[in-house]
Structure 1
Amino acid sequence: MHMTSAPHLLTEDRPEFDRLLDEALRTADERPELATLGERLNAEQLRTMALSASALLTAAAAAEYDHYVKVREELREGALTASASGIEDGTDQEDGAGASAVIAVLAPVLAGTAMLIFLLVGYSLKMIDPEPAFARTMLTAGWLFGALTVAALLFAVIGLLVTAIRNSSTEVAAEEAVPIPDELSRAREAWRNALLERGIMPFLRDALADPSAGSGYPVPRTPGAGRIPNLGYTRPDFTSPGPRSQGSRPGYTPPDFTSPDFGGPEHETE
C-alpha cells in the first residue's frame, strides 16, 4: 500500500518501484553501505520512509523513465494498429467462412426434404391403377435428391473437420508467449538501474547514516514510544475526602415524656 506516489509515476509501474525497494532491503547484507541496517533502523522503518519519499526517489531516474514510457507507448500503438488490420482481415475471412457454413448446413436439409417429397409422391402414384407415366420420373428425381443429400452431408462433415483443425492451430499460436522487444527491454532495464543506484540506494544509505537528517526524509516513530501523546499537563490529583473537622454539635435534650397524673374523683372539674 503506497503512502505517497510520485506524480509522474504511472500506476502500472508502481509495483516495480516496490519490488526494487524490497530487493534492495532484502540484499542489504551484501552491500557494505547498508551494513548498519538494524542498529538504529530496521527494514520496515526504512521501507516506510522510502515510500513516503517516493517522489524524491523516482525523480532521480526521471529521464530514463520518460524514455521507457515513450518506447512502451509507441510499441502499444503499433500493436493496436496491427490488431485492427488483423481484425478487418479476419472479418472478411469470417464472412466467407460463414457463407460456407450456411451452405453446408442448408444443402443436406433441402436435398433431404426434396428427396422425401419426390419419393412419397412417386410411390403414391405407383399405387394408382393404371400407373401414371410420370410416377417413375418422380421416383427417379427422389433418388437423385437422395444422392445429393448424402454428398451434402459428406461435404458438411469435411468442412467441420477443416474448421476444427484451423481453430486448433490458431489457439496454439495465441497461447504462445509474446517476446518483449529488445528496445523496450533495454529501456526498462535502464530505468530500473537508474532508480536503484541513483534513487533508492542513496536514500537508504543517508537514512542509515543519520535517520534525523536529510531534507524531506521522514523520521519514523520510535518503536518503544507510547501510543498516547504527551498533552502537556498532568492529571488532576483525585484524593479521597479527609475527615471533617469535629465542630461543636448543637446540644439538646430529649423531651421529658411523663405519664399523666390521674387523680381521684375529687379532682374532676366542676
Structure 2
Amino acid sequence: MHMNSAPHLLTEDRAEYERILDDALRNAHDRPDLAAVGQRLNNEQLRTMALNATALITTAAAAEYEHYTKVREEMRSPAAAASVHNSVLSPAIGEASERGAGFAAVIAVLAPVLAGTAAVIFLLVGYFLKMLRPTPSFAEALVSAGWFFGALTAVAILVAAIGLLLTALRNGATQVPAEESTGELPDEVSRAKEAWRHALLERGLLPFLRAALADPSADPASAEPPRHVSRIPKVGYSGPDYSSPSEGSTAGQRPTFTSPDFTSPDFGGPEHRPE
C-alpha cells in the first residue's frame, strides 16, 4: 500500500538522523562525489541545509522507517504486557518466595548463634557440676549435651557459609546477562533500524548533499532544498516538486498557440465583396 506522504519523523529518532548526517559530513572527503565540500559550502552550511530539508530527505527512506517504527512498537508492547501480566498474576508466588528466602536467612543466622549459646551453657554447667563432691548424676549428661550443641554449631556455620557462597554465585550468574542485554536491541529491530539508516544515507542524505554542492544558487540559510533534490527516489511516496518552470520546460515541448482560421466566406477575396 502506498502513502501520499512520508511518516513523520518521531522526536526520539531525530538524534539518530543528526548522527547519520554528521557521519556523512565527517566522511565526505572519502567520497569522490562529495569532494567539493569546503570549497563553496562547508560542513556547517550543508548541515543547516539538511536539517531544514529533513522532511524531504526522510521521505526517500519512508518505507524502511515505517517498517522500523512498526517493528519497534511491536517489540515494546509484548514486553510491557508480559511485565504487567507477571506482576498481576504471580504476586503470591513472589511473596511466597520472599517469605521462604527470609525464613531460610533467619534460620541460617540464628541456628549457629542458638546452638553455640546452648553449647557454652551446657558445657559450663556440666563441668562445674563435675567438680562438686559428690558429683551429680546428670553432670555427665549436661557435658554430653554441650558437646552435641557445639558440633551442631559447627555444622550450622558450615551450612550458612555454603548457602552464602551459592547465593553469591547465583546472583553473579544472573547479573551479567542482564547488564549485557540492556544496551542491545532485539535482532529484528536492529535489522530494521540498520535498513532505515542505510536507505536514509544512500537515498536521502547523499543525493541531497550532492545536489547542494552542484547547485550554485543554493542558500545555506534557506529552508528551501536545492532544486535538483526533487530527483531523489521517492520509494512510492509523492513529494513536492521544487523544479522551477524554466527547468521543467524544454525546447520542443513548449505548446503552440496557432489559432484556427476564422476567415469567413464574406471576407475571402475581391470576388466576394459584400453588397
TM-score, structure 2 as length reference: 0.62
Aligned to 2:123: 119
Aligned equivalents of 1:100, 1:58: Cα separation in 2:
59
Contact in 2 for aligned 1:67/1:187 (Cα 8 Å): yes
Output aligned runs, 1:98-109, within 5 Å. Answer: 98-109=102-113
Question: Would the alpha carbon gap of residues 39 and 138 (structure 1) be closer, same or farther in structure 2, given more than 3 Å must change?
Answer: closer
Aligned to 1:190: 195
Structure 1: any 5+ residue segments left out of the alignment? 1-5, 220-270
Quote how far apart the aligned CAs of 1:105 are.
1.5
Aligned to 1:69: 69
Aligned equivalents of 2:155, 2:32: Cα separation in 1:
81
Aligned to 2:212: 207
Question: Would the alpha carbon gap of residues 164 and 78 (structure 1) be closer, same or farther in structure 2, given more than 3 Å must change?
Answer: same
Quote how far apart the aligned CAs of 1:46 are.
0.8
Q: Could you say what secondary structure the match of 1:192 adopts?
A: helix
Contact in 1 for aligned 2:123/2:146 (Cα 8 Å): yes
Aligned equivalents of 1:147, 1:29: Cα separation in 2:
79
Task: Give, as a single letter, the amino acid of the residue that structure 2 aligns with 1:102.
Answer: V
Aligned to 2:49: 49
Aligned to 2:168: 164
Task: Give, as a single letter, the amino acid of the residue that structure 2 aligns with 1:100.
Answer: A
Aligned equivalents of 1:197, 1:91: Cα separation in 2:
54
Identity of matched residues, %: 63
Task: Give, as a single letter, the amino acid of the residue that structure 1 aligns with 2:116.
Answer: G
Aligned to 1:20: 20
Task: Give, as a single letter, the amino acid of the residue that structure 1 aligns with 2:74.
Answer: E
Quote how far apart the aligned CAs of 1:35 are.
4.7
**1:96-118 deviations in whole A, cap 9, x for unaligned?**
44432321211111111111222
- Please say if 1:40 is aligned against 2:40: yes
Task: Give, as a single letter, the amino acid of the residue that structure 2 aligns with 1:47.
Answer: R
**1:67-126 deviations in whole A, cap 9, x for unaligned?**
212212222333455667599777765554443232121111111111122222223333
Q: 1:217 aligns with which of 202, 211, 224?
A: 224
Aligned equivalents of 1:117, 1:174: Cα separation in 2:
49
Task: Give, as a single letter, the amino acid of the residue that structure 2 aligns with 1:159.
Answer: G
Task: Give, as a single letter, the amino acid of the residue that structure 2 aligns with 1:211.
Answer: A
TM-score, structure 1 as length reference: 0.63
Contact in 2 for aligned 1:71/1:184 (Cα 8 Å): yes
Contact in 1 for aligned 2:61/2:200 (Cα 8 Å): yes
Q: Could you say what secondary structure the match of 1:15 adopts?
A: helix
Q: Could you say what secondary structure the match of 1:41 adopts?
A: coil
Aligned to 2:157: 153
Quote how far apart the aligned CAs of 1:143 are.
1.8
Quote how far apart the aligned CAs of 1:200 are.
1.9
Aligned equivalents of 1:53, 1:171: Cα separation in 2:
45
Question: Would the alpha carbon gap of residues 117 and 81 (structure 1) be closer, same or farther in structure 2, given more than 3 Å must change?
Answer: farther
Question: Would the alpha carbon gap of residues 35 and 169 (structure 1) be closer, same or farther in structure 2, given more than 3 Å must change?
Answer: closer
- Give the structure with the larger helix fraction: 2
Contact in 2 for aligned 1:7/1:55 (Cα 8 Å): no
Contact in 2 for aligned 1:28/1:37 (Cα 8 Å): yes
Contact in 1 for aligned 2:7/2:62 (Cα 8 Å): no
Aligned equivalents of 1:204, 1:91: Cα separation in 2:
60
Contact in 1 for aligned 2:57/2:200 (Cα 8 Å): yes
Structure 2: any 5+ residue segments left out of the alignment? 1-5, 227-275
Contact in 1 for aligned 2:115/2:153 (Cα 8 Å): yes
Count of matched residue positions in the alignment of Structure 1 and Structure 2? 213
Larger radius of gyration: 1
**1:125-154 deviations in whole A, cap 9, x for unaligned?**
334433333222222222221121121112
Q: Could you say what secondary structure the match of 2:104 adopts?
A: helix
Task: Give, as a single letter, the amino acid of the residue that structure 1 aligns with 2:171.
Answer: N
